[in-house]
Amino acid sequence: MEQFINFVKKEFAHVWRDKKTLLILFGMPVIQILIFGFALTNEVKNSEIIVLDQAKDQASQQIIGRIAASRYFHIQSSVMNKEKIEEAFKQGKIKMAIVFPAGFNETLLHQGKAQIQILADASDPNTASMLTNYVSSIIQDYLNSIDKTAVIPYSIVPEVRMLYNPQLKGAPNFVPGVMALVLMLVCVMMTAISIVKEKETGTMEVLLVSPFSPLLVILSKAVPYLILSLINVASILLLSIYVLDLPVNGSIVLLFAESTLFIITCLSLGIFISVKTDSQQMAMLISLMGMFLPTVLFSGFMFPIENMPYPLQLISNLVPAKWFYIIVKSIMIKGVGFSAIWKETLILGSITVVLLAVSLKSFKIRLA
Amino acid sequence: MRTIRFLLEKEFRQIFRNKAILLMIMVMPVMQLIVLPLAANYEVKNINLSVVDHDHSSYSQKLISKVTASGYFKLTGYNGLFKEGMKLIETDKADLILEIPRGFERNLVREGHQQLFIAVNAINGVKANLGGAYLGTIIRDFNNDIRLQLLPPLKFDGATVIEINSSNLFNPLMKYKFFMVPGILAILVTMIGGFLSALNIVKEKEFGTIEQINVSPIRKHHFILGKLIPFWVLGNVVFTLGLLVSWLVYGIVPLGNLVVLYLFASVFLLAILGFGLLVSTYCDTQQQAMFIMFFFMMIFILMGGLFTSIDSMPEWAKIVSRFNPVSYLIEVMRMVILKGSSLRDILPQLSTVGLFALVLNAWAIWNYKKRN
Amino acid sequence: MEYVIKTDKLTKRFGDFVATNEITFEVEKGEIFGFLGANGAGKTTAMRMLCGLSMPSSGTATVAGFDVYKQTEEIKRNIGYMSQRFSLYEDLTVQENIRFFGGIYGLSNQEIKTKSEDLLEQLGLKNEAKKLVASLPLGWKQKLSFSVAVLHQPKIVFLDEPTGGVDPVTRRQFWDLIYEASAKGITVFVTTHYMDEAEYCNRISIMVDGKIEALDTPANLKSQFKVNSMDEVFFELARGAKRSD
C-alpha cells in the first residue's frame, strides 16, 4: 500500500510539473462554460438582411421600421436593384432579402391585398425558416395594427409555457454536456497517452520488472486523473451555480457519486486504448477522432439523438457519455433521485466492467 | 532549395512508414464525413408530441390530425390527464404537450374565443424554439380554416391581406445535410492538419532527433517549410477525399469553381499548419502539444459558426471569431459549394486567411530556436 | 600551434545555478581532446555552447575560427555532433538516415552514394542498410551516429559520451573509428566518464563543479598527481565535488 502511494505521488509530480498542460486542464472547463454560456446561442438574432423598397411609401416604410426595430434583424443599407441582392448573397453578407413592389401601399389600400417577396439563404435551412417565420409574424402584427377596428372572430389563442427553462437559456442543456466532455477528455486522453508514453520511452519495462504488480502500476497512473477530474466537476458546478445561475436541483452527493462512476468508465477506456496502441500519436488519434467526436455527437447534448437514423441511435447506446449526460441532466435540472436513473447507472457500470475486463485480459496477454 | 528536397524526402518517408497512422489520417475523415452529417442533424422533424385532450370534440380531433399531418410532429401520447402528459416529458418521451381544454369547441363557436395550452420541454433550446413556432403556425392555419368555415364568405374577403411570397435560395429542398457537409469537411481538414503539425516538431524534440538538426547548418525557414509542405499535401488529399465523399454519398456538387475552392483550402491549410507548428515550437512533449492544440481547436470549432450563427453572438464573441481561421473556412466552403460564389466574392476572406498564414508561419520560424 | 577551439572564461548560468564556471582552454588542430568529469560537472553544457546549441551567459569562445555568439551557423557548417541521446531517426532505415544527413550538409548525390557505400562497408552494416534503425542493437546505433556525424568531413567532431552503455568490444571498435577520423585530420572533442578511455586521448581536461581543475596529457597528469592510473587522478580531483546526480 505504501508503495502504491509512492507511485501515485510520482504520477502526481509528473502531472504537476507540466504547468502548461495543467493550466489548460483547469482552464478548459472555464472557457467552455464561458463559450457555451455567453457566446453560443440557438436563438437567431441580429441577422443581416437587405431590403429592396421599390415602393417607398407609408406602408413599406412602416413595415421596414418594425423589422428594423426587431432584435432578430439588422438591416444593411438598402439597395436599388436585384443584381446587388444576388451579389450580397454570394458574398455571404446577408441571410435574407425583402422586396417591396412598387405601389405597395396603394395596392394594399385599394385592392386589400398586396405582395411582399422574401428571399432567404436556405443554405442554412433552419435559420432561413426561422427568419421567414419572424418576418411573417411582424407583417401579421402590422396588419392587425392598421385594422384595429375589425374584431377577429373565432380566434384560438395558444398559450405557451416553457418548462424547466423558461428563458430558453442554453445552460441547462450544455452544462451536463460540458461535464461529460471535459471528463472524457481528461480521463481518456490523458491516461491513454501517459501510459503509452511510458511504453514508447521504455520506462514501462522498468516499472513492469519492479516487484510491483503491473496492475497497480496502471492504477497509480489513473488516480491523479481521477482526482483532477473530480476537481473539474466541482469547478464546473461552481461556475454553473454562481456564474450561470443554474442550481443543482437534485442531490449533490448523488451527482458526485455518478460522476465518479463515469470518471472510472473513462479511465478504463483510456487504459483500454493504451493497452491496444504503441505510440502516443496513435493513442491520441484514436482518443480524439474515435472518442471525442462521438461523445460530442452521440451524447445528445448538441444534436438530438432521436433525429438520427436508427442504426446511429443504436450506436449511441454504446457511448458512455450519453448515459452520463442523461444522468446529470436528470439530477441537475429535473432534480430526480436515484430511483429515476438506476437504469442508466447500471448501463454505465456494465460498460465499465466490460472495458476493464477486456483491457486487463489483453494486458496480461502482453505480459506473458 | 536542395536542403528542402532532402527534408521533404525524409518527412514523406516517415509519414509513409507508419501505415497505421496514414490509414487513420485517410480513413477516419471519410468515415466521419459519412456518419456525422447523419448524426449532426438539426432538421427539426419528428418532434415528440403528447396531446392531452379534455374536450374529445370533432374540433379537437381535427386539430390533432392537422398537427400530425404536418410531418413535423410525432404523436407519442394521447391522454386525458395533464399529469400523464407531464410524465412523458419527464422521461424524455415527449418534447411538447398540447393541452386542449374542456369545452374547446363549444367556447370557440359560442364565444368566438378560446385558449390552448402548449407546454414545451425547453431544456433543448432549438427544439423548443422551432417546435413552438411550428405548432403556432399550424394552429394559426387551423384557426383560418375554422374562420373560413364559420364566417360568411363576404366578410372574410373584406380583410386586408399581405401575401408573402417566400423563396428559399441555394437549397430549395431545405436539406440540413447540405448545410452541414461542407462545414464538417472544413472541421475534419482543420483537425487533421492542426494536430499532425502540432505533434510533429515536438515529436522530434521528445525523441531528441531535433538536436541533430539544430547542430546542422539547416536554415530555420527551410526546416519549417520541410514540415509544412508534407502536411499541406496530406491536407489537400484529405480535402479531395472529402469532396468525393460529399459528391458520392450526399450528391453535393460544388456550384462554384473547384479551383477557387482548392485555392482557399490551400491557403487555409498553410494558416492552420502554421498554427500547429507554432504550438509545436512552444511545447516540450507531445502530450502537451496535443492538449494545447485541442484547447484551441475546441474554441475554433465551437465558435466557427458550424452549428450556431456567428451573427447571433454577442459583440465580444464576434470580435474573437474574426481571429478564428476556421470560421472563414466554414463560411467560404458553404459559399462556394452551395451558393457558387466566385473568387471575387471570397476575396476578403481569402486575404484575411492569407495574412494569418503569413503571420503564423513567420511566428513559428521566429520561435523555433536552434539555440537556447 | 593552430587552435581550432579557444575559450576564455566561458560561463553558463541557469538562474542561480552556474553550470559551467569561467572555463578557459584551447584545443589544438588534429588532437583528440578528452573532456572528463562526473555526472553534472558541466561537460555537456560546455559542449552545447561550443556547438551553438546553447547561448553562453558570459565569456568568449571561438570554434573553427568563428565566434560562438554571432557565427553559430558558420560553426555548424564546420562541426559534427553526436549527442548523448541517440538522435538519428529510428523510423528511417540506415541508408535513409545517411542520405538525409548527407543531404542537409550539402553533399552531392554522387558524394552521398560513394560515402554511404564506404561507410556501410567500414561499419559492416551492408546487410542492414535497408533495415530500420530502431531494429539495430545499441552498439551499432552508436557507431552509425558517429559515422553520420563525420560524414561531411567536419573540422571538429563533438562526441557527448559516445560509448555510454555499450560493451567493451564495441567500445574498442568505436575508438578505432575515432582514431581513423583523427588520422583524416578531424579534431575530436569527446566527453566521457570511462577513465580507461581517457588514456586514449592526446590531452584531457577534468571538470569538477563547473570548473576545469586539470588540463594536460594523461601521462603528465599521472606524474603530477603521483599516481599510476587516470582513475586515481580523477578520484583525487572529484573527491571534493559537491555536485553529482
Asked whether residue B179 falls in the same domain as residue B236, the answer is: yes
d(CA B136, CA C241): 86
Asked whether residue B133 falls in the same domain as residue B271, the answer is: no
Domain span at residue A183? 2-39+170-362
Which three cell numbers mark C73?
A: 551557423
Helices (H), chain B: 2-17, 19-39, 58-69, 82-90, 104-111, 125-150, 153-157, 176-207, 209-214, 220-250, 258-282, 286-302, 315-322, 325-334, 343-367
d(CA B238, CA B233): 9
ipTM of the modeled complex: 0.84
d(CA C83, CA C162): 8
- For residue A279, pLDDT over 90 is answered with no
d(CA A324, CA A322): 5
Of A143, A163, A307, nearest to B121 by CB-CB distance is A163
Which residues in chain A (96-155) have CB-CB distances under 8 A to chain B? Answer: 108, 112-130, 132-133, 135-136, 139, 142-143, 146-147, 150, 153-155
- Total domains, chain A: 2
Asked whether residue B14 falls in the same domain as residue B66, the answer is: no
Domain span at residue B190? 2-40+173-367
- Over residues A338-361, the pLDDT tens digits come to 888 888 999 999 999 999 888 888
- For residue B184, pLDDT over 60 is answered with yes
Neighbouring CB atoms inside 10 A of B194's CB total: 26
Output the pLDDT for position A71: 84
CA quadruple A6, A11, A12, A18: dihedral sign: positive
Output the pLDDT for position B354: 95
C57 and chain B: CB distance < 8 Å anywhere? Answer: no
- For residue B350, pLDDT over 90 is answered with yes
Of B6, B14, B372, nearest to C103 by CB-CB distance is B6
Of the candidate ranges A164-168, B210-214, B238-242, the one whose mean pLDDT is the lowest: A164-168
- Over residues C62-98, the pLDDT tens digits come to 999 999 999 988 899 899 999 888 888 988 999 999 9
- Total domains, chain B: 2
Distance of alpha carbon B313 from its chain centroid, rounded?
15
Please indicate, yes or no, if residue A127 is contained in any of the structural domains: yes
- Where does a domain end: A148, A163, A178? A163
Helices (H), C83-238: 94-104, 109-123, 138-149, 168-183, 195-198, 218-224, 230-238
* Subunits close to A (at least 3 CB pairs below 8 A): B
| pTM of the predicted structure, to 2 decimals | 0.82
Phi-psi region of A248 (alpha: psi -120 to 50; beta: other; left: phi over 0): beta
Residues 6 or more apart whose Cβ sits within 8 Å of residue C190: C32, C33, C34, C35, C158, C159, C162, C178, C197, C201
Which three cell numbers mark B300?
A: 475554433
Residue type for position A16: W
- For residue B153, pLDDT over 60 is answered with no
- Over residues B109-136, the pLDDT tens digits come to 777 777 888 888 776 666 777 777 778 7
d(CA B126, CA A318): 25
- Where does a domain end: A163, A187, A210? A163
Asked whether residue A262 falls in the same domain as residue A300, the answer is: yes
Using the beta-carbon criterion (under 8 Å), do C73 and B6 form an inter-chain contact?
no
For residue B242, name the pLDDT band (cuts at 50, 70, 90).
very high
Neighbouring CB atoms inside 10 A of B172's CB total: 10
Higher pLDDT among residues B209 and B72, named by residue: B209
Overall average pLDDT of the A151-174 stretch: 64
Q: Residue B40 in 3-state DSSP? A: coil
Please indicate, yes or no, if residue A313 is contained in any of the structural domains: yes
* Subunits close to B (at least 3 CB pairs below 8 A): A, C
Please indicate, yes or no, if residue B166 is contained in any of the structural domains: no
Please indicate, yes or no, if residue A353 is contained in any of the structural domains: yes
Output the pLDDT for position B274: 94
Output the pLDDT for position A164: 65
Higher pLDDT among residues B326 and C245, named by residue: B326
Please indicate, yes or no, if residue A367 is contained in any of the structural domains: no
Asked whether residue B61 falls in the same domain as residue B35, the answer is: no
Beta bridge partners, A4, equal none
Output the pLDDT for position A104: 87
Distance of alpha carbon B147 from its chain centroid, rounded?
42
Residues, chain A: 368
Start-to-end CA distance of chain C, whole Å, equals: 38
Residues 6 or more apart whose Cβ sits within 8 Å of residue B43: A125, A126, A307, B174, B175, B176, B177
- Over residues A55-74, the pLDDT tens digits come to 888 888 888 999 989 888 88
How far away is chain C from the Cα of B31, in angstroms, using its nearest Cα? 28
Q: Which residues of B216-245 are buried (b: 16+ CB within 10 A; e: fewer)?
A: bbbebbbbbbbbbbbbbebbbebbebbbeb
Asked whether residue A126 falls in the same domain as residue A22, the answer is: no
CB A146 within 8 A of CB A109: no
Which residues of chain C lie closer than 8 angstroms to B214, CB-CB?
53
CATH no. of C25-87+153-238:
3.40.50.300
Looking up residue A89, the CATH number of its domain turns out to be 3.40.1710.10
d(CA A156, CA B60): 12
Asked whether residue B183 falls in the same domain as residue B128, the answer is: no
- For residue A368, pLDDT over 50 is answered with no
For residue B275, name the pLDDT band (cuts at 50, 70, 90).
very high
Please indicate, yes or no, if residue A126 is contained in any of the structural domains: yes
Using the beta-carbon criterion (under 8 Å), do A170 and B342 form an inter-chain contact?
no
Asked whether residue A320 falls in the same domain as residue A218, the answer is: yes
Of the candidate ranges A34-38, B327-331, C190-194, the one whose mean pLDDT is the lowest: A34-38
Please indicate, yes or no, if residue B300 is contained in any of the structural domains: yes
Using the beta-carbon criterion (under 8 Å), do B10 and C106 form an inter-chain contact?
no
Which residues in chain A (290-329) have CB-CB distances under 8 A to chain B? Answer: 290, 293, 297-298, 302-304, 306-309, 312, 326, 329
Q: At what angle do helices A19-34 and B286-302 cross, to 10 degrees?
A: 10
How far away is chain B from the Cα of C80, in angstroms, using its nearest Cα? 8
Which residues in chain A (244-283) have CB-CB distances under 8 A to chain B? Answer: 279-282
Residue of B nearest to A289 (CA): B28
Specify the DSSP class assigned to residue A222.
H
Asked whether residue B117 falls in the same domain as residue B185, the answer is: no
CB A223 within 8 A of CB A11: yes
B35 and chain A: CB distance < 8 Å anywhere? Answer: yes
Residue type for position A345: T
Asked whether residue B177 falls in the same domain as residue B221, the answer is: yes
Using the beta-carbon criterion (under 8 Å), do A280 and B287 form an inter-chain contact?
yes
Of A20, A280, A297, nearest to B40 by CB-CB distance is A297
Overall average pLDDT of the A208-234 stretch: 81
- Over residues B100-111, the pLDDT tens digits come to 888 888 888 777
Please indicate, yes or no, if residue A227 is contained in any of the structural domains: yes
Neighbouring CB atoms inside 10 A of B171's CB total: 21
How far away is chain A from the Cα of B219, in angstroms, using its nearest Cα? 27
Task: Sort strands A113-121 and C3-14 into parallel, antiparallel or unpaired.
Answer: unpaired
Neighbouring CB atoms inside 10 A of B122's CB total: 24
Asked whether residue A92 falls in the same domain as residue A225, the answer is: no
Using the beta-carbon criterion (under 8 Å), do B171 and A114 form an inter-chain contact?
no
Higher pLDDT among residues A70 and B144, named by residue: A70
C92 and chain B: CB distance < 8 Å anywhere? Answer: yes
Percent of chain B with pLDDT over 90: 26
**Average pLDDT of every residue of chain A:** 81
Please indicate, yes or no, if residue A231 is contained in any of the structural domains: yes
Output the pLDDT for position A53: 87
How far away is chain B from the Cα of C107, in angstroms, using its nearest Cα? 10
Distance of alpha carbon B365 from its chain centroid, rounded?
33
Q: Residue B153 in 3-state DSSP? A: helix
The most distant pair of C-alpha atoms in chain C lies apart, rounded to whole Å, by: 54
Please indicate, yes or no, if residue B168 is contained in any of the structural domains: no
CA quadruple C195, C200, C205, C207: dihedral sign: negative
Looking up residue B100, the CATH number of its domain turns out to be 3.40.1710.10
Using the beta-carbon criterion (under 8 Å), do B209 and C53 form an inter-chain contact?
no
**Average pLDDT of every residue of chain C:** 88
Which residues of chain B lie closer than 8 angstroms to C53, CB-CB?
211, 214-215, 370-372
Asked whether residue A101 falls in the same domain as residue A123, the answer is: yes
Higher pLDDT among residues B241 and B44, named by residue: B241
- For residue A147, pLDDT over 70 is answered with no
B249 and chain A: CB distance < 8 Å anywhere? Answer: no
Percent of chain B with pLDDT over 70: 94
Residue type for position A360: L
Of B244, B263, B228, nearest in space to B333 by CA: B263
B93 and chain A: CB distance < 8 Å anywhere? Answer: no
Which residues of chain B lie closer than 8 angstroms to A39, CB-CB?
302-303, 313-314, 316-317, 320
Asked whether residue A7 falls in the same domain as residue A124, the answer is: no
d(CA A357, CA B197): 36
* Subunits close to C (at least 3 CB pairs below 8 A): B
Using the beta-carbon criterion (under 8 Å), do B48 and A129 form an inter-chain contact?
no
Asked whether residue A133 falls in the same domain as residue A198, the answer is: no
Which residues of chain B lie closer than 8 angstroms to C99, CB-CB?
6, 9
Percent of chain C with pLDDT over 70: 97
For residue A150, name the pLDDT band (cuts at 50, 70, 90).
low
Asked whether residue B19 falls in the same domain as residue B78, the answer is: no
CB A284 within 8 A of CB B199: yes
Residue of B nearest to C96 (CA): B10
Asked whether residue B221 falls in the same domain as residue B353, the answer is: yes
Output the pLDDT for position B156: 45
Residues 6 or more apart whose Cβ sits within 8 Å of residue B316: A39
- For residue B271, pLDDT over 90 is answered with yes
How far away is chain B from the Cα of C11, in angstroms, using its nearest Cα? 14
Residue of B nearest to C157 (CA): B215
Overall average pLDDT of the A96-100 stretch: 89
Asked whether residue B62 falls in the same domain as residue B210, the answer is: no
How far away is chain B from the Cα of C214, in angstroms, using its nearest Cα? 28
How far away is chain A from the Cα of B98, in angstroms, using its nearest Cα? 9
Please indicate, yes or no, if residue B163 is contained in any of the structural domains: no
CB B127 within 8 A of CB A171: no
Asked whether residue B292 falls in the same domain as residue B351, the answer is: yes
- Distances from the Cα of A343 to the Cαs of A267, A306, B88, C230, in angstroms? 21, 19, 17, 75
Of B313, B332, B339, nearest to A89 by CB-CB distance is B339
Which residue is listed with cell 507531445? B286
Which residues of chain B lie closer than 8 angstroms to C85, CB-CB?
208, 211
Using the beta-carbon criterion (under 8 Å), do A160 and B120 form an inter-chain contact?
yes
- Over residues C197-232, the pLDDT tens digits come to 888 899 999 888 888 888 889 889 888 888 888 888
Work out the burial of residue B315: count CB atoms within 10 Å of its CB; fewer than 13 is exposed, 13-18 middle, 19 or more buried.
exposed
d(CA B49, CA A243): 33
Asked whether residue B317 falls in the same domain as residue B221, the answer is: yes
